[in-house]
Every structure is written in structure tokens, then in C-alpha cells.
Structure 1
Amino acid sequence: MKAKDMSESKRLELIAEAVRYCQRVSAMGMPASVFSKALREPIHFLWERRAGSKTAAAQYRSISAVGLSFGKGKLVYDHAVPFICLQRRLLVLDTVDEPSNRALLERLNLIALITKDEDEILKSAGLNKSMPKDWDGNDPLARYREMGIELIPNRGAVNA
């Protein structure tokens, strides 16, 4: 069965199984760098890209990225909250089930389309794989606000 043909409940059930697997192997001492892909891929294909394209998956777009499309190396598919931060939150869940996964994914797994230059700004500030030091844990767009990257809702989004 293709991911796009699965019910949302089935996709969340599969993601929950991936979270439980990662929790088990982490507790056994496996480094996150080894098991991370076992969580990242199900979330990417079963949750983020459930509507198909990267453009449809992105809830936001920077003003500078308006009019840009993939294929020319100028547009970047960026997790508003870096995946490592989401992964940490998922791995400490006491109860791994559909409601807990849905709550975290809906709140923290947001995608923004930004320019390559804006991606470099985040990298140079050390914010490509982390949130700002004073992050409240709630505002998923905090990295962009801190760096002055203005976002607007993505008109092509299906998962918004």
C-alpha cells in the first residue's frame, strides 16, 4: 500500500512503532546517529509528504522564496524545528500513541520553503540544527524570527 492511500490513523500508528523502536535501541545504547533515519524516514514520507510534493508539504514560505521552485538550487525545504529537536521530544514520550504523536507532529513538524541564502544565514548563526538558546519550546518559527526571515503561509500547502 502506498503512503498516500493510508489513513491518517495508519500513518500515525506506523510512526508510533518507529518511535517505540528508536526508544528501545536508544535505551540499549545505540547512538542516535545510527537509529535516527529509522524515525526520520517514516515521519518524512508518512506525515510530511502525505500530500505528495515538497511544495504541498510546506506550510510556510519566506517572502524571498515566493516565486521560486525546486530544481535550480535556490529553494530549501527546511524544518522549522530541526528534526533533531523533534526526535528528542518523541524519544522521551512516556506514552507513544496516535494522540501524543499527532500533538507533537502538528505543533513542531512544520516545513518552510526558504532561499539558499536564508539557509546560509541560519547556518552561520548556528541555527540550522538547533533552536535559539532562549526558545520557549512552543514557537516553531522562533529561528526565523530571530534571524529576521519573514514567513508567510504557503499558498501551495495541502497539509496546512
Structure 2
Amino acid sequence: MPDNLDFIVFAIEQAKEAENYGFTRNECCRNLKTALHQYWQNKTMRLHGQFQKKNIPRSKAAVGMELINCDVEHVVPQMEIVNMLMDMNPLSKQEVESVLKNYFRVLLVTKEEHQRLNASGLRSKMPSNWDRKDVWARYNAVGIEVENG
């Protein structure tokens, strides 16, 4: 029986085949993004849906705020992670797991903090000088402090 990582690796393999066939990366990675959400965020991290939103770590400003006033953010934007997975050569289950454990995190931020990320141009990418070590670089760049981060 396949485990959660097996489903993700399968989705990466399919996306790579689709890209080689001629689809754009964005087009061919839709199923991969779905697999990451379903098999990593939902089934592995158990941080999916409105019911689990209360369990997601928060920025300092979001602590104590009502959930309706917060947005869920991927600490490292999902497309950054998708690109890491798609560029992996050779593709291995262990390396996929390492990338996901190191970079796939979600955080509740205030709507104002979310707007700051958008205004800075860092809504869906990491800063250009990102060292691939500091997963909080995007938040540091716009002054978002992380509770227990």
C-alpha cells in the first residue's frame, strides 16, 4: 500500500513527464500542488481545512486574533517547493521528504501582514538573496515576527 510520500513522488514523476511533453511548469504542476496539499499538509501535517486552522502556528501579531481575521500562508511559497521537487535529479523519496520537512510549513498571519507580503512582491516568492537555509527570510524582509519561530 503506498504511503503519503509515494503519492507525492508519483505526482512529481507525472509532472516531470508532462513538462517534458511540452506543458508549462505551472500547467503540469497542478496535480502536484494538489498532492502536496492532500498528502503532506492534510494527511502528514494534519493542518488542513477550517477545523484544523486553530492548530496552525501564528505570527506574533496573529496570536489571540479570531481566525476570520487571519490568512494561512506557506512559509516558503508552494511554487518554490514545487520547483525544488521538479528540479530534483535524481528523484528520490528520501530527498522529497527532506525538502518537505525543511520547507513545507504553514503559518497564520494577520490580513495586514498578508498585504505587506503582497506589497513587497514576496507573495509567492522568496527574497532574491535567499540562502535556502532561513525559511523565515520572507517574513524577516517585511517585519513579520513569528511566535516560537
TM exceeds 0.5? Answer: yes
Residue 122 of structure 2 corresponds to 127
1:16 is the counterpart of 2:9: yes
- Residue identity in the other structure for 1:111: V
Which of 135, 139, 142 is the aligned partner of 1:144? 139
Residue 67, structure 1, aligned to residue 64, structure 2: yes
Question: Which residues of 2 match residues 1-160 of structure 1 at below 5 A?
Answer: 10-50=3-43, 51=46, 52=48, 53-56=52-55, 58=56, 60-70=57-67, 72=68, 74-153=69-148
Displacement of 1:28:
1.4
Report the Cα distance in structure 2 between the residues aligned to 1:149 and 1:123, rounded to whole angstroms. Answer: 13
* Contact 1:11/1:47 (8 A) holds in 2: yes
Deviation at 1:27, TM superposition (A): 1.4
8 Å CA contact 1:13–1:97 kept in 2: the answer is: no
Does structure 2 retain, via aligned residues, the 8 Å contact 1:18–1:38?
yes
The runs of 5 or more residues in structure 2 that have no matched partner are: none
Aligned equivalent of 1:158:
none
Q: Look up the SS of the partner of 2:147 in the other structure.
A: strand
Q: 1:76–1:115: 8 Å Cα contact kept in structure 2?
A: yes
Amino acid at match of 1:116: K
Cα distance change on mapping 1:146 and 1:33 into 2, 3 Å: same
Residue 40 of structure 1 aligns to a residue whose secondary structure is helix
For residues 107 and 123 of structure 1, the distance between their equivalents in structure 2, rounded to whole angstroms, comes to 24
Give 1:97 deviation, angstroms.
Answer: 2.8
Amino acid at match of 2:133: N
* Structure 1 gap segments, 5+ residues each: 1-5, 155-160
Q: Secondary structure at the match of 1:47?
A: helix
Contact kept in structure 2, 1:80 and 1:112, CA below 8 Å: yes
- 1:94 Cα deviation after fit: 1.2
Distance 1:95 1:42 in 2: 20
Give me the CA root mean square deviation: 1.8
User: Which stretch has the larger CA shift, 82-91 or 95-104?
Assistant: 95-104
Structure with bigger helix share is 2
